[in-house]
Chains A and B, each alone.
Chain A
Amino acid sequence: MANKRIDEPTGTETVGHEWDGIEELNTPLPRWWLWTFYLTIIFSIGYVIAYPAWPMIDRATVGVLEWSSRGQLAKEMSAADQARASVREQLARVPIERLPEDSALMQQAVAGGAAAFRVNCVQCHGSGAAGSQDLGYPNLNDDDWLWGGDLRAIEYTLVHGIRESDHPETRFSIMPPYEGVFDSAQLDSLVDHVLSLSGNAETNAVGTQLYADNCAACHGPAGSGNRELGAPTLNDAIWLRGSSREAIRRQILQPRMGMMPKWEGRLDPVTIKMLAAYVHSLGGGEDFIEVAEDPEVEVDEQP
């Protein structure tokens, strides 16, 4: 079959094939190379025994090591959980008033809160926490807070929710509907007055009187709102449900009030604390007045 010979100019053996007078020289590899090749074969046999290798109908064969990528992921996830445990323990011990003092822990809390926010909160408040004016979901980035914007107030809102039914501790208030109370002209005057509070319209005597009689009790004479009642501030630039005359009129006649579920029982206290830290960090978070006035906040060292 093969005509092997020594190629005279190079002194090298040919492989024996010839095509149109062209021949190939045979330069065999060294023995250690051959050994390496055999070793790779042995290795591959071991690999097939130890690891998943042969594709079956629904999954590959299970190697004797019972390794799988999912199993490895689960292992790594539980390792990561354990690594987080110490941070969670620390967070559980520190009262939320004292959290800003430890900036490293605060950073961890904000990072953890950001992750929890993406899972639990973005459905209403949006991925950038900017809320929705159309649907009345508050924007969490700004400096306008219905129920308070310091860490403790945010945590309280998270724990107990807003207008959560059958929950005595929830934040609760109601704005009565004024459907049929005012005639059209009165309503226009009132809307004018409300807009005038933020300098967007001229006020008038009728509207001022109507406001003082019906609205000032909750929203304040100057429209500065009331956080005790969750009454929105009317004299700033931020409108939860729109600043057009139509939007304001609708809100007076058929007020819509938002509801936020309580997260107590759904999320553990540490996650809620982290969420509060994250929301506080979005740019509108307020300082504790209490801490500034009285630094002797009681710190419970027990977890």
Chain B
Amino acid sequence: MNNPDERKPGGDRDWSVVVEDGVAKTNDPVSSAVAEPEATTRRHEPHEPPREHLPERLYESRAVVHNKRIDGPFRRFKWLVMVVTLAIYYVTPWIRWDRGPYAPDQAVLVDLANRRFYMFGIEIWPHEFYYVAGLLIMAGMGLFLVTSAVGRAWCGYACPQTVWTDLFQHIDRFVDGDRNARHRLDAAPWTWGKVFRRASKWTIYLLIGLATGGAWILYFADAPTLFRDFFAGTADPIAYITVAVLTLTTVTLGGFMREQVCIYMCPWPRIQTAMMDEQSLLVTYKDWRGEPRGSVKKAQKNPGQFGDCIDCQQCVQVCPTGIDIREGPQIGCITCALCIDACDRVMKDIGRPRGLIDYATLEDCEREAAGETPKSPWRTLLRPRTIAYFLIWAGIGGAMLFALGVRSHTELTVAPDRNPPFMLLSDGSVRNAYTLKLRNMESRPREMEIAVEGLPGAVMWTETINRTAAASTQTVSVPADLVRQVRAYVAVPAGVTSQEFTFRVTSLDEQRESDTVQTRFDAPESEQ
């Protein structure tokens, strides 16, 4: 698609400058950090002559980002996070966890077919999904905590989009060379050499995508079996479809869209802007120290007239989202701190103090600009907001762990028959029928005793226990890790009235877990 009104270089007008009311205004982006304060209030007045028309643009054309290689403490930290997160992703499905003969031995398994979620020693049933909800709330609170403490650290280091984009950018560098070589190759005509390079690069993209999707499905079935079946071609079609979809999304999002995802698609940057305050750590360009920019030579000629920034563009070149941090905080900045590494290195080379671009809070920036000493970054972490977030986060986690620790693995639900509510038997006794659901959440079959309590003279039998064996307690066996439905018939001798009573289920093992449900016994109203 062509953009008909794209500004053409060498057109009949120099669009980089607009003269208005005798004031030259620039079309180039201006940092809010350097704009004149009164510029914000200077608006077009109705009496002023109409302004120049600018050409309509249907879309914002994308500037390809080829970030330059850089080394430094933050880059190394990023490497570490990448290795750790990818290791967690790829290794987790292969960890084994012995749960006995009746349950899978995979440490982390989302068993959708049997509706069970295993995570090491924890097993979640569908009716306990609130634990997963709690986990998601914890994840949300954790993001709030991290954001209010260290800004967009999630975006910069741990977000899968960032990790995979980083990975793909390393592939670019490995195949095509560093920033300049990649720009040159982009502009080069399609020779066989370029075709070969592109083909090999995209093949690697595809392999990474396959590995990503391939690992994802291992969380949903026994990993070694599925892995074998997958390559033998006997796995479920849904496995192949999932891998295909995830390969496609990985290659598209990580290989081609990259920073576009962060800037246009992800809601998190928008939410984060509301989470940050003056005390959040941000990657900041210290404009009071850097401006006005000037080369080392200029600064030597006119000492005192120029700031520390020598306008070497290193911070822009290493940026994985292609922004200029010197324009101030912006939505495109994922705070990966690679520009800090780049700037520190330049400052070291030219013998100026490090930290022209650095992690700093807005408050500290003001303090520093006024000539005071800034607070230590560690002290900025401990403040009411971060502590409150942490307490909420830890509170939810603690409450969930407590609930998981004390939850019973034996549960009972009772549904009385309502039509007919009671049944007269030939000997004059009254029978009620109930559907009992006995939940055995242990991964071994268990005997369970059902007892009728608080109903004098009541006897019970079930669809499998004959009426001749009717008694006030009955024992049934419940298969491992399953719900057993039992139809219980409770009969009380003639003369009974409607009343409440209790079903109690007790596991007949050393745990002797029990659960009670109160329900109603219906009887015909007496004649009197």
- B-facing residues in A126-150 (Cβ within 8 Å): 126-130, 139, 141-144
Which of A6-14, A156-164, A203-211 participates in binding chain B?
Answer: A6-14
The residue that B424 contacts in the complex, of A28, A237, A287, with Cβ under 8 A, is A237
**A197 CB, nearest partner CB in chain B, Å:** 12
**Per-position binary interface string of chain B over residues 5-41, scored 1 when its CB falls under 8 Å from any chain A CB and 0 otherwise:** 0000000000000101000011111101001000110
Nearest chain B residue, comparing its CB with the CB of A233: B426
Identify which of A4, A31, A130 contacts B62 (C-beta below 8 A).
Answer: A31
Render A168-199 as a binary contact track against B, CB cut-off 8 A, 1 for contact: 00000000000000000000000000000010
Q: Which of A6, A126, A233, A238 gathers most chain B CB within 10 Å?
A: A6
CB within 8 A of B29: which of A11, A30, A34, A129?
A11
A264 within 8 A of B: no
B5 → A minimal CB distance (Å): 11
Roughly how many angstroms separate A21 CA and B45 CA in the complex, as a whole number?
A: 7
Collect the chain B residues with CB atoms within 8 Å of residue A11's CB. 26-30
A8 cross-chain contacts in B, Cβ below 8 A:
25-26, 30, 35, 39, 42
A142 touches which one: B29, B42, B51, B423 (CB < 8 A)?
Answer: B423
The stretch from B53-61, B133-141, B218-226 touching chain A is: B53-61
A5 touches B54 (CB 8 A): yes
Complex: chain A residue closest to B468, CB-CB: A287
Complex CA distance for A8 and B20, rounded to whole angstroms: 11
Q: How far is the CB of B60 from chain A (nearest CB, A)?
A: 4
Interface of A is mostly: loop
Closest beta carbon of chain B to A33's beta carbon, Å:
7
The interface size of chain B toward A, counting residues with CB under 8 Å, comes to 52
> Closest Cβ of chain B: how far from A91's Cβ, in Å?
19
Flag if A32 contacts B53 (CB, 8 Å).
no
List chain A residues, Cβ under 8 A from B425: 142-144, 237-238
State in angstroms the CA–CA spacing of A21 and B40 once bound together.
12
On chain A, the residues within 8 Å of B447 by CB distance are: none
Residues of B within 8 A of A139 (CB): 420, 423
- Asked if A283 is at the interface (CB within 8 A of a chain B CB), the reply is yes
Residues of B261-303 whose CB lies within 8 A of A: 264
Task: Bin chain A's interface residue count.
Answer: 35 or more
Q: Which positions 15-30 of chain A face chain B at CB distance < 8 Å? A: 16, 18, 21, 23, 26-30
Q: A26 to B489: give the CA distance in the assembly, Å.
A: 73
A21, A127, A130: the one contacting B423 at CB < 8 Å is: A130
CB-based contact A142/B426 at 8 Å:
yes
Query: Does B50 make an interface contact (CB < 8 A)?
Result: yes
Most chain A beta carbons < 10 A, residue from B1, B26, B54, B494: B54
Are A34 and B44 in contact, CB atoms less than 8 angstroms apart? no
A27-B30 contact in complex given A9-B35, A128-B419, A237-B494, C-beta closer than 8 Å: no
Task: State the CA gap A142–B44 with chains docked (Å).
Answer: 90
Q: Are A128 and B417 in contact (CB under 8 A)?
A: yes
The reply to whether B51 and A5 contact each other, CB–CB distance below 8 Å, is yes
Interface residues of B in 405-442 (CB under 8 A from A): 417-420, 423-428, 431, 433
List residues of chain A with CB within 8 A of the CB of B3. 31
Cα-based distance from A2 to B264 in the complex (angstroms): 27
* Contact count A vs B, C-beta below 8 Å: 128
With contacts A28-B58, A34-B58 known, is A236 near B427, CB below 8 A?
A: yes
CA gap between A130 and B417 in the complex, in Å: 12
Cα distance A144–B433 when bound, in Å?
Answer: 17
Is A302 part of the binding interface, using a Cβ–Cβ cutoff of 8 Å? no
* Chain A residue contacts of B58, Cβ below 8 A: 28, 34
Q: Decide if A61 is an interface residue (CB 8 Å cutoff).
A: no
Q: How many Å lie between the Cα of A6 and that of B29 in the bound state?
A: 9
Determine whether the beta carbon of B264 is less than 8 Å from that of A6: no
Q: Closest Cβ of chain B: how far from A172's Cβ, in Å?
A: 24
A126 partner residues in chain B, CB cutoff 8 A: 419-420
The reply on A69 being an interface residue by CB < 8 A is no
**Nearest chain-B residue to A287 (Cβ)?**
B466
- Are A283 and B433 touching (Cβ within 8 A)? yes
Within the complex, what minimum Cβ distance (angstroms) separates A126 from chain B? 8
Asked if B426 and A144 sit within 8 Å, CB to CB, the answer is: yes
Ordered by A's residue number, 14 sampled pairs between the chains whose C-beta atoms are within 8 Å are A3-B44, A4-B52, A8-B25, A13-B57, A29-B264, A31-B3, A32-B62, A129-B420, A142-B424, A144-B426, A236-B426, A237-B426, A238-B424, A287-B466
- Known A21-B46, A237-B425; further 16 A-B contacts with Cβ < 8 A: A4-B56, A5-B18, A6-B25, A8-B25, A8-B26, A9-B35, A10-B30, A11-B27, A28-B59, A30-B260, A33-B264, A34-B1, A141-B431, A142-B431, A237-B428, A283-B423
B residues engaging A (CB < 8 A)? 1, 3, 18, 20, 25-30, 32, 35, 39-40, 42-46, 50-54, 56-62, 257, 260, 264, 417-420, 423-428, 431, 433, 463-464, 466-467, 489, 494
